Amino acid sequence: MKTRRRMNVATYVALFPAFIVVVFAYLGTMLWTVQISFTESKLLPTFAFSGLRQYERLFATSRWSISLENMVIFGIGLIAVCLVLGFLLAAALDQKIRFENTFRTIFLYPYAMSFIVTGLAWQWILNPTLGLQQYVRNLGWTDFQFDWIIRNDRAIYVVIIAGVWQASGLVMALMLSGLRGIDQELWKAAKIDGIPTWRVYFNIIIPMLRPTIITSVVLLSLAVVRVYDLVLALTGGGPGISTDVPAKFILDYLFGRANIGLATAASSILLVIVLVIITPWLYYEYFRPKRERR
């Protein structure tokens, strides 16, 4: 019995670093952040409870509502376009294509690069005086306009373009492995029954890909909530604050404007948003009473 106890001790020693991380870095900081959000903290945290004041102030700040709105636009745009494009690319590559490897490599390489690089690359192409717009004008269409990056009402769509460029390869890779997992007999059966290809995709394949689609949506949603570097490098949040996002709002108020009460209130809102998205999915993936998985 003595050795058994020693084994136990070893296990707890091994789990100690993870335990420390969970208690201090995850749970502790999270609770602390929420706690600060209920105080009047400015540059330094104070402990005077002030109820929901910071939240009222937060939602009265137009910059915050613009950030949230941008996150929603960016999120819907990014997820929709990535899913459609990623699926089309995967379906196309699944047709026994020549140079399949080359195409796959090309579609996925942006995903290996940082958001900073992605943002800077697109900033350069979309620069109206030197980039695409000027190029087309030089070709002879002198009144060609593509200056979304400097227009208040369009700049957020530029962020979507860059995001799609970066992330749709990921969706393609996930979908492709999903498609490859589908039994080829199914295609033969559909063929024999004379069902048109597009109907097989719509009525059989896409429903079968549901787990892959859910995974893609979850991953993309996380990227959406976290989006920061991309906006910083691409537009800097501008013009004005027209492409501001919550993550950038929080960082600015934490370190630039020394208003940590407001910033932590904003963080807490993000926290709630993510918990709402993620908890059902985590439960479904890991903690659901396991029948045969798939």
Partner 1 sequence: MATATMTASTTALEPSGPRPKRLTADRVGLYVFLVIAAAFFLLPMYVMIVTSLKPMSEIRLGNIFSLPEAWTIEPWLQAWNSACTGLNCGGIKVGFWNSIRILVPSVIISIFIGALTGYALSLWRARGSNLLFAVLLLGAFLPYQVFIYPLVRIYSSVGIYGTMAGIVVTHTIFGLPLMTLLFRNYYSSLPIELFKAARVDGGGFWAIFFRLMLPMSTPIIIVAVILQVTGIWNDFLFGVVFAGRENLPMTVQLNNIVNSTQGEKLYNVNMAATILTALVPLVVYFVSGRWFVRGIAAGAVKG
- Rounded to the nearest 10°, the torsion over CA 180, 184, 188, 189 is -100
- Supply the minimum distance, in Å, between the C-beta of residue 154 and partner 1: 19
Closer to partner 1 by CB, 11 or 152: give it: 11
Closer to partner 1 by CB, 118 or 243: give it: 118
Closer to partner 1 by CB, 73 or 278: give it: 278
Identify which of 271, 270, 261 has the alpha carbon closest to the alpha carbon of residue 35.
Answer: 261
- Supply the minimum distance, in Å, between the C-beta of residue 138 and partner 1: 6
- Supply the minimum distance, in Å, between the C-beta of residue 252 and partner 1: 11
The three-state (H, E, C) secondary structure of the chain, written as one string: CHHHHHHHHHHHHHHHHHHHHHHHHHHHHHHHHHHHCCECCCCCCCCCECCCHHHHHHHHCHHHHHHHHHHHHHHHHHHHHHHHHHHHHHHHHCCCCCCHHHHHHHHHHHHHCCHHHHHHHHHHHHCCCCCHHHHHHHCCCCCCCCCHHHCCCCHHHHHHHHHHHHHHHHHHHHHHHHHHCCCHHHHHHHHHCCCCHHHHHHHHHHHHCHHHHHHHHHHHHHHHHHCCHHHHHHCCCCCCCCCCCHHHHHHHHHHHCCCHHHHHHHHHHHHHHHHHHHHHHHHHHHHCCCCCCC
Residue with tokens 């989006």: 227
Closer to partner 1 by CB, 156 or 171: give it: 171
- Supply the minimum distance, in Å, between the C-beta of residue 207 and partner 1: 19
Token pair, residue 220, equals 């993309």
Closer to partner 1 by CB, 29 or 65: give it: 29
Closer to partner 1 by CB, 54 or 216: give it: 216
CB 82 within 8 A of CB 216: yes
- Supply the minimum distance, in Å, between the C-beta of residue 281 and partner 1: 9
